[in-house]
Structure 1
Amino acid sequence: MSGTGGYGAHGGEFGRDDDEEQGEHGGHGGHGGHGEHGGRQGPYEADSAPRERLPEQRSDGPGSPGDGERENEGAGPDQPARIPMPRASVEDSGRPLPDLTDLGDLAPVPLDLTHDVLKSLLGAWALAACSAAETAAVEDHLGSCGACADEARRLREAVGLLQRPESLDLDPALRTRVLESCLVRRPPRIPVPGWSVPYDAETARLDALLQDFGDSEWHAPVRLRWFQDDTTTSRRTTVAGVIAHLLSVDGLVATALGLDDPLAEIVGAGRTGGRGVSGPVERTEEFWRTSRFPPTRAVRAPWREQSHHLVRTVSFTGSGTGGLAVSYGEFALPLHDAMLDRAFECWTHAEDIAEAVDYPYQPPAPRHLHKMIDLAARTLPTALAERRRRGLSAPARTPHLVPAGTPGRSLRLEIEGAAGGEWLIPLDSPGAVGSAELEVAHIALDALEFCRLAAGHIPPEEAAAGQIGDREAIKDVLFATASLSRM
């Protein structure tokens, strides 16, 4: 049986396992060679049984003769040299593949595909899932086939609709960055006092959160939490009820500045027989009780208008009004601290609202958060004294109160993070001065952890605080921090 022309792969070692039977009966020869029954034999004769490759014939390294040299060893002068066979893969022979750097830059082989195949690739091409060769073939075809070009355009437009929509919410820090950039170029004629800037920023952020709320979000249930008498207390309301609460308590600052109280007709006399309602909790409860209907989205406009009036008024009156007393009923705060207090509560309740509607909400800017933490740290000595007076805290260790302005036993409060710092908290008297020499304990807390503790959102026993020193003093300060919270 005469062999066929072309490269006789079946007569050599390459592919022998698949064609042993053909090689035994003659198989295909080399270049035009013949089988066993006639013609000139090639360099490798077709034996009656397949030969085994001896171990010493393997190429063991760069110095050993290559496959092509061994294949041409038996060729006479009148016989053409056998073309070297391609090396086997690693899986076939165990030898390493050639280094890719030796292959040079190989140009991609253009694909010759039918119209039906190219049309079936349009979907993958629109999704950018084709190989480089397929992409080139499809794009070359689109230049000459109008029907496929129209289909490709429609698929590309459809892919655009499959993309995940990006959030349309603005970066919370965008307003601050824009204002800072503008103020650097042109300072305001009437600047906002630094102690009221956090309130301005937090009310603006909360208003942005409320902007796109529908009726279902406004009536979403919200649970307000605070710490009272060493226990966690909560009150259930709605998103609109929270804004009504902020409106009620902000009215305390408004009345201190001589502005109209938006709740004057509602809580002027209240249930106290004409004595008026003065405390934050009383004002809120009276507002909720006397409202004809539960608060709705309509409460947003008066709350936002009042916040604008507060910032505008303190800006016009200047920073000299910062010491004006703002009454909270049982206690009073200077105006500059009251504005920080309102900023802190606005952020805290904004997080309550965001949690109720399952929406992410970022903490305040670090410089604003630092001022809020500083207010809480400055209030702790008074809170410790109040708890001691009510029998909720251990009595002072010193035999008598430390005179005002003198050093006393102290706890070092370390707040970590960009908004943090260190404060020495006097333990035995609100008028004492913190002293590093008389330090008896040290607490380290993350900034947000400390703020959530001060807001009554986590109990003191669960606060993740690093502690060292007097355990009783540490416990007293943690519980005093939680007692700063209120509805």
Structure 2
Amino acid sequence: MDVHDEVLDLIGAWALDACDPDEAATVDAHLIGCATCAAEARRLRSAASWLAADRVVPAPPALRHRVLATAHAARPAALMRTLVGAYAGQAAMLDRLLGAVRADDWARPDPRHETVSGVVAHLAGNDAMLAADLGLPVVPLPAGPAREVHAAWRAQSRVLVDALTGRDGGLDQRVRLAHTGPPPLRPLRDALVQRAFETWTHLDDIGAAVGRGTTTPPPEQVRRIVDLAAALLPGVLADGSTGTVRLVLEGTGGGEWTLPCGPGDDTTIYADAVEFTRLVANRRGADSLPHTTTGSPAVSTRVLHVAATLGCD
């Protein structure tokens, strides 16, 4: 569990002054640099004060241990349902769009995969790669009509959703992430974030091609996409004098992320969260992304250009 997840588990107890000194210190240190958790902490402290909870008699230590142990045991299953649900939701939206497109829309051009049909085939292939890594059935991709390609992608998506919805664990299993180069190995939790991310990206690609416009995921999905990008970037950037990079993203799913990227001075990049995720998908150019920088403009430029290479195609 990383520090952010640990603080999310502790913040309710912290608001009631029920943490031990080490836990309280961990929460206090994290709140300095995380606007999202700091806002939640203020909300919970306010509620505790309103309820006069600061005068509550502390719970017996054994009770606290049992409650936290139960919560920790349930968390992986809840997270699996959340991640699979996010992917399933984006897949359902894409399925509805594909079911409504006209026959001639399948041949509309796409700059990366030739046609709309090619986009769906590419997406089906990446879903199949995850299924293979998990030991699940791989649906053959037909070379026939576009509607058959759509049906094969839909069947492959359902294989993943049906198999993972009831799982209680396995989020740490190493699987391949879809990538333009050699697929990196990452935990299943990251792969599920990527599957929802890529499905949303191609939903918008196809929507733009057929004149249906674009969409925006829920804030929690945007944050998970940025979390994944923030986890991947330091490994790519650590070979230069990049220093510590702070992403301060506003709007839907916004927050702050600190990226330790090796020696060098600190740089902060300010941008819109959704636009940053579109940059990560390489649907926005690094030079055209609206942003401001404090610190090194050269580092900012490098970070944004590298971020645009993290996508799946």
TM-score, normalised by the number of residues in structure 2: 0.69
Q: Partner letter of residue 258 of structure 2?
A: L
Aligned equivalent of 1:222: 110
Distance 1:351 1:459 in 2: 16
Matched, 1:326 2:179: no
Aligned equivalent of 1:197: 85
Aligned equivalent of 1:461: 287
Q: CA deviation at 1:208?
A: 1.3
Aligned equivalent of 2:148: 298
Q: Deviations over 1:402-425 (max 9, x none)?
A: xxxxxxx31110111131110011
Q: CA deviation at 1:341?
A: 0.6
Match among 241, 251, 254 for residue 396 of structure 1 = 241
Q: CA deviation at 1:472?
A: 2.5
Match among 223, 236, 240 for residue 370 of structure 1 = 223
Q: Partner letter of residue 96 of structure 2?
A: A
Distance 1:470 1:299 in 2: 47
Aligned equivalent of 1:316: 166
Q: Deviations over 1:128-156 (max 9, x none)?
A: xxxxxxxxxxxxxxxxxxxxxxxxxxxxx
- SS of match in other structure, 1:305: helix
Q: Partner letter of residue 419 of structure 1?
A: G
* Residues 427, 473 of structure 1: 8 Å contact kept: no
- SS of match in other structure, 1:258: coil
- SS of match in other structure, 1:428: coil
Aligned equivalent of 2:253: 419
Aligned equivalent of 1:133: none
Q: CA deviation at 1:292?
A: 4.6
* Residues 252, 274 of structure 2: 8 Å contact kept: no
Q: Partner letter of residue 305 of structure 1?
A: A
Match among 297, 304, 307 for residue 471 of structure 1 = 297
- SS of match in other structure, 1:323: coil
* Residues 444, 466 of structure 1: 8 Å contact kept: yes
Q: CA deviation at 1:322?
A: 0.5
RCO higher in 1 or 2 (8 Å CA, sep ≥ 6)? 2
* Residues 440, 469 of structure 1: 8 Å contact kept: yes
Aligned equivalent of 1:140: none
Q: CA deviation at 1:482?
A: 1.0
- Of all paired residues, the percent bearing the same amino acid is 34
Q: Partner letter of residue 150 of structure 2?
A: R
Distance 1:476 1:221 in 2: 31
Q: CA deviation at 1:471?
A: 2.1
Q: Deviations over 1:225-275 (max 9, x none)?
A: xxxxxxxxxxx5111111111110101111122112224xxxxxxxxxxxx
* Residues 249, 270 of structure 2: 8 Å contact kept: yes
User: Alignment length, in residue pairs?
Assistant: 232
Q: CA deviation at 1:330?
A: 3.8
Q: Which has the larger radius of gyration?
A: 1
Q: CA deviation at 1:207?
A: 0.8
Alignment of 1:210-359 (within 5 A): 210-224=98-112, 236-263=113-140, 292-293=143-144, 296-318=146-168, 320-328=169-177, 329-359=182-212
* Residues 322, 336 of structure 1: 8 Å contact kept: yes
Distance 1:308 1:473 in 2: 42
Distance 1:341 1:419 in 2: 16
Q: Once superposed, which parts of structure 1, at least 4 consecutive aligned residues long, lie more than 6 Å away?
A: none
- SS of match in other structure, 1:462: coil
Distance 1:470 1:220 in 2: 42
* Residues 383, 484 of structure 1: 8 Å contact kept: no
Runs of 5+ unmatched residues, structure 1: 1-189, 225-235, 264-286, 389-394, 398-408, 430-437
Q: CA deviation at 1:222?
A: 1.7
Distance 2:300 2:283 in 1: 19
* Residues 245, 269 of structure 2: 8 Å contact kept: yes
Which structure carries more helix by proportion? 2
Q: Deviations over 1:414-469 (max 9, x none)?
A: 1111311100111218xxxxxxxx96111111012101211112221221111111
Distance 2:202 2:183 in 1: 22
Distance 1:363 1:383 in 2: 27
* Residues 247, 256 of structure 2: 8 Å contact kept: yes
- SS of match in other structure, 2:161: helix
- Quickly say closer, same or farther: Cα 1:486–1:309, change in 2 above 3 A: closer
- Quickly say closer, same or farther: Cα 1:205–1:292, change in 2 above 3 A: closer
* Residues 233, 259 of structure 2: 8 Å contact kept: yes
Q: Partner letter of residue 283 of structure 2?
A: H
* Residues 416, 446 of structure 1: 8 Å contact kept: yes
Distance 2:210 2:303 in 1: 33
- Quickly say closer, same or farther: Cα 1:322–1:307, change in 2 above 3 A: same
Q: Deviations over 1:7-34 (max 9, x none)?
A: xxxxxxxxxxxxxxxxxxxxxxxxxxxx
